[in-house]
Chains A and B, each alone.
Chain A
Amino acid sequence: MPTAVRVAGVSKRFRLDGGADFLALDRVSVSIGAGEFVALLGPSGCGKSTLLRLVAALEEPSEGQVTVAGSAPGELARAHRLGVAFQDHALLPWLDVTANIGLPFRVAGRAVDRARVSALIGLVGLAGFEAAKPRQLSGGMRQRVAIARALVLRPDVLLLDEPFGALDAVTRRQMNIELQRIWSEQGTTTLLVTHDVREALFLADRIVVLSPRPGRVARELVVPFARPRDAAVMRTEAFHRLADELTDALGGGA
């Protein structure tokens, strides 16, 4: 499997207001193969979102190197080959669902592929809401729009930064089942940032556990469940055992 994303020995320091340095990531190395789904698991404040922002070229590493498809991470964004769904849905409030999902086409200077947009609206289960504005949608629906928008240009790399972080447990589980289905149809190289052990286990091929302050790779785990997965896998004993193991690994630093 060729490498799609390589994070090699990356450290990231932030200058705090007082002038002191804060080490968010300490010599982290992670690689993601083409077509692989990797979950970055860690407690809040472990620098996992920072790592995602480095891959998205929204931050620069203090040390080390990030390459995406062999070039600097900004190249992929400039070529309109990157899809990102943020924790905050980041929908444009003045555009309806169709126009929000079509936005990447317009930014790329291409004609909006209407068939592709309506296919994605169907895929994320929002048929009938094409003309709705973001404020008329529930939190879960907004995140579906954000995910559809991230997928619309068939990106080489998909970054998901706790896209369901703000949702309640029931909606979140439902969104996970849907994301599983959507991802199975697209098979895009994906990096998911989450603090939810079950979410990571259910969705990912491989889980990288980060320990907090400074963020370091504490553990890596290949998820053994075969694809396609459905919700039943979450009720198996192996799932529970791995979930407990990962929960322990998360608490290990504390």
Chain B
Amino acid sequence: MLLGAWGIALFLAGWEVVGQTGALGMSCPPLSAVLAVLADPARALLFQRALGATLGAVATGYGLGLVFGVVAAAAGHLLPGMRGGLDRTSSVIHAIPSVALAPLLILSLGRQATPAALAGINTYFILYVATSSGLAGTSPVLRDLMSVLGAGRWMRFVRIDLPAALPTLVSGMRMAAPGALIGAIIGEWFGASRGVGVIILNAMQNFQIPLLWSMVLLTVMISLTLFWLLGAMQLGAARRYR
């Protein structure tokens, strides 16, 4: 823990030195300059709106991806006939690169909905895989128990399969959060009106290097915060259901 803090401090200090001396050229400004942009009161409103738009897209996409992923996995578990088809469909959707899918989404859903849609697709696949494997992982002796207690498939699902799958499911929720953020930002590159991705794209095209870095830093911080929050949830689920 302490060693990790030292490592991060060393990295940030190194970044500052490299930026100040200009060792890597103009494309790597010092950390202080990047933080100054991030804290610039003149830009606060712009950043707030962008952050709101991006987080909104992440929340919508993540929520939908979560619901669809879990429901699809549950359907594949309860109706074994559907399992193969669901597996293949999910894999195919996942195998299409976001940049190839985005134009299709823009045409079908519109520019404003594309960030949420890409966030949702990224979330869906991870949640589908995590929930499926969690549901399949119920111990055989608990299945025997439910069978001798006279439980049907649905009762078994509610009483043992789903609770036993929760730690894996929450672990999937944690893994999916950064993916949802990436999906939303890439989605914003394809002509959304606001969002962190829009600022990143504009800053790059206009060569506003400190602004570009500040948005990247912001993205990293959001991603780590989500990862950390869901990590706490994962720990809780693992304690309770294992």
Give chain A's interface residues, CB within 8 Å of chain B.
Answer: 56-58, 77-80, 82, 84, 86, 88, 90, 92-94, 103-104, 106-108, 159
Can you list the 3 inter-chain pairs with the closest CB atoms, starting with the nearest?
A: A84-B148, A90-B145, A107-B149
- Taking a contact as CB atoms under 8 Å apart, the answer to whether A58 and B241 are in contact is no
- Taking a contact as CB atoms under 8 Å apart, the answer to whether A103 and B159 are in contact is yes
Residue of B nearest to A82 (CB): B148
- Taking a contact as CB atoms under 8 Å apart, the answer to whether B142 and A58 are in contact is no
- Taking a contact as CB atoms under 8 Å apart, the answer to whether B148 and A92 are in contact is no
Interface centre among A57, A86, A107, A159, by most B CB within 10 Å? Answer: A107
A56 vs B147: C-alpha distance in the bound complex, in angstroms? 9
Residue of A nearest to B159 (CB): A107
* Contact among B148, B155, B241 with A56 in the assembled complex (CB-CB below 8 Å): B148
Interface centre among B142, B144, B148, B159, by most A CB within 10 Å? Answer: B148
Q: Shortest Cβ distance from B122 into chain A, in angstroms? A: 30
Q: Shortest Cβ distance from A44 into chain B, in angstroms? A: 18
Given the complex, which residues of B lie within 8 Å of A88, measured CB to CB? Answer: 141
| Interface band, chain B | 10 to 19
B160 at the interface (CB under 8 A from A): yes
- Taking a contact as CB atoms under 8 Å apart, the answer to whether B242 and A58 are in contact is no
* Contact among B144, B155, B163, B240 with A107 in the assembled complex (CB-CB below 8 Å): B155
Given the complex, which residues of A lie within 8 Å of B163, measured CB to CB? Answer: 92, 94
Would you call the interface of chain A mostly helix, strand, loop, or mixed? loop
- Taking a contact as CB atoms under 8 Å apart, the answer to whether B148 and A77 are in contact is yes
Residue of B nearest to A84 (CB): B148
Residue of A nearest to B156 (CB): A107
- Taking a contact as CB atoms under 8 Å apart, the answer to whether B149 and A103 are in contact is yes
Q: Shortest Cβ distance from B79 into chain A, in angstroms? A: 21
- Taking a contact as CB atoms under 8 Å apart, the answer to whether B149 and A77 are in contact is yes
Given the complex, which residues of A lie within 8 Å of B155, measured CB to CB? Answer: 107
Q: In the complex where A88-B141, A90-B141, A92-B160 touch, is A107 in contact with B242 (Cβ < 8 A)?
A: no
A104 vs B150: C-alpha distance in the bound complex, in angstroms? 9
Q: Shortest Cβ distance from A151 into chain B, in angstroms? A: 13
- Taking a contact as CB atoms under 8 Å apart, the answer to whether B159 and A90 are in contact is no
Interface centre among A82, A90, A159, by most B CB within 10 Å? Answer: A90
- Taking a contact as CB atoms under 8 Å apart, the answer to whether B242 and A93 are in contact is yes
- Taking a contact as CB atoms under 8 Å apart, the answer to whether A86 and B242 are in contact is no
Q: In the complex where A58-B144, A90-B144 touch, is A79 in contact with B150 (Cβ < 8 A)?
A: yes
Q: A80-B149, A86-B141, A90-B144 are in contact. List 10 more A-B contacts (CB 8 A).
A: A56-B144, A56-B148, A58-B148, A82-B149, A90-B145, A103-B149, A104-B149, A107-B150, A107-B159, A108-B149
Given the complex, which residues of A lie within 8 Å of B18, measured CB to CB? Answer: none
B151 at the interface (CB under 8 A from A): yes
20 pairs across A/B with beta carbons < 8 Å?
A: A57-B147, A57-B148, A77-B147, A77-B150, A79-B150, A82-B149, A88-B141, A90-B141, A93-B241, A94-B163, A94-B240, A103-B159, A104-B149, A106-B159, A107-B146, A107-B149, A107-B151, A107-B159, A108-B149, A108-B150
